Amino acid sequence: MLQVRRDLCLGCGLCIQNCPRQAISILWGKAEIDQSRCVPCRLCREVCPPGAIIEVAPVSIEELQTLVATLRQRADDLIKQLQP
């Protein structure tokens, strides 16, 4: 799955010009990919000057829940260590 890093996007529109599926639009000055239209052919990633389009692996809800639980546990452990 491809996503736009909003912190890197310049809003230049090059990705839009090169997308064969009209899957990209500019929202508040930054590119946005409509995942329901994206193939993904990766042409947008190739033309993006700052490299703002990145490939991300989809994460399942179970993986996300496990990650949140692990981070919560680590945060609790750190807080315990800091307490006198």
Q: Is residue 46 a contact point for ligand SF4 (CB under 6 A)?
A: no
Backbone angles phi, psi at 34, to 5 degrees: -85, 105
Is 54 near ligand SF4 (CB under 6 A)? Answer: no
Host H or E run for residue 5: none
List all residues 6 or more positions away from 9 whose beta carbon is below 8 Å from its beta carbon.
30, 31, 50, 52
Among 4-12, 55-63, 68-76, which window interacts with ligand SF4 (CB under 6 A)?
4-12
Q: Does 52 bind ligand SF4 (CB under 6 A)?
A: yes
Cβ at position 34, least distance to ligand SF4 in Å: 8
Q: Tokens 């946005």 belong to which residue?
A: 32
The distance of closest approach from Cβ of residue 81 to ligand SF4 in the complex, given in angstroms and rounded to an integer, is: 42
Kind and range of the H or E run holding 28? none
Q: Does the protein bind ligand SF4 through residue 50 (CB under 6 A)?
A: yes
